[in-house]
Structure 1
Amino acid sequence: MLTAYEPSSEIEKAFRERMLFLLNNYPNCFERSLLHAHFTASAWLVNRELTHCLLTHHAKLNRWLQLGGHADGDSELRRVCLKEVTEESGLKDICLADGEIFDLDIHFIPERKGIPGHDHYDVRFLVYGNMDETIQINHESNSMKWVKLEEAKTYFLENDSISRMISKTEKLRN
């Protein structure tokens, strides 16, 4: 899946190369026990019209983000992505847009509660959700809401990663 993915930018190309290195050199790369870096999966959750995205205000990181989380040993990142959406939002009327990778990102997670700072190698998938379905947030979120893409841009002026996914979504819509 990673080798077939065509990065949209030089930064994504660099992320893919680092991810392939981790994948090929660390058999436990899907486990949190690999302390310096491990794979995570995220959902860029949008409505079918591609006008809104679902964002969560992450309790630990205290910022707005897409839904997602740790692989916890599961190398099938599509499954991890969908599981995380349901766990974090309660949404069940969801589906992968096409099952292909939508975006790649590597981001640093600061030290917390004795767990050293480390990198999340985040594989992201485009997921469709139903804006009429009731959201049921869990303990990982302070808040969760559907946001117009135009408004979401203002949330992420200094976050190239999420701005990149917003731009990709706008290109799909046009």
Structure 2
Amino acid sequence: MSALHKDAVAVLDGWDAPDPGQDALREDYLAYLAAHPDGLWKPCATGHITAGALVVDPPRERVLLTLHAKLRMWLQMGGHCEAEDTTLARTALREGAEESGIEGLRLLVPRPVQLDRHLTPCAWHLDVQYAAVAPPGAVEAISDESLDLRWFGYDEVADVADDSVNSLLARTRALL
């Protein structure tokens, strides 16, 4: 069992879910990991754990979203776990930095903000979502995984993003 698998189980096992729906997902994720030792990796065709970060700039009351190249939706940064990842939190920060071009992101809190399970072209993603704070003066840079990258005011997100992103933003704002 990898260090990342152990971390994922520990994070999910110790996470105090904010509501019964999130707790049910937490239990589902734990059962999935117990049944699928390879459940963190993209080759696991039935689905895999992913991690991401909603990048926020609290002083300017804005959030950075990516227009995902494959899904063509405005989403938080995130994606697949990689062999060098040792924790879900580091995976989320790595994905956040890679997709935003912003170095120096820091987690708002050391635990997930929410879980979201969704079907993608490759498989089911069992996403563990964190919130990351952009450093002062952060300048974003679009990656090849995005069609666009844009800051949105908190009140603008509902007009461009789906319920999952809106829920993640609401939960993040409650922590600010």
TM range (shorter): 0.7 to 0.9
d(CA) in 1 for partners of 2:76, 2:100: 11
Q: For residue 17 of structure 2, what is the aligned residue in structure 1?
A: 7
Q: For residue 95 of structure 2, what is the aligned residue in structure 1?
A: 84
What secondary structure sits across from 2:111 in the alignment?
strand
Task: Give structure 1 stretches of 5+ with no counterpart.
Answer: 111-116
State TM-score, norm by structure 2.
0.86
Contact 1:153/1:166 (<8 A) preserved: no
Contact 1:30/1:75 (<8 A) preserved: no
Matched, 1:25 2:35: yes
Across the aligned residues of Structure 1 and Structure 2, the Cα RMSD in angstroms comes to 1.7
Matched, 1:139 2:150: no
d(CA) in 2 for partners of 1:56, 1:98: 22
Contact 1:50/1:170 (<8 A) preserved: no
Cα offsets for 1:129-172 (capped at 9, x unmatched): 0362221111100111111110012223xx32112112213323
Task: Give structure 2 stretches of 5+ with no counterpart.
Answer: 1-10
Structural mapping, 1:89-128, within 5 Å: 89-110=100-121, 117-128=122-133
Q: For residue 169 of structure 2, what is the aligned residue in structure 1?
A: 166
Contact 2:51/2:78 (<8 A) preserved: yes
Contact 2:113/2:172 (<8 A) preserved: no
d(CA) in 2 for partners of 1:131, 1:143: 22
State TM-score, norm by structure 1.
0.87
2:57 to 47, 52, 68: 47
**Larger % of helix: which?**
2
Question: By how many angstroms is 1:68 displaced?
Answer: 0.5
Q: For residue 114 of structure 1, what is the aligned residue in structure 2?
A: none
Question: By how many angstroms is 1:50 displaced?
Answer: 7.4
**Larger % of strand: which?**
1
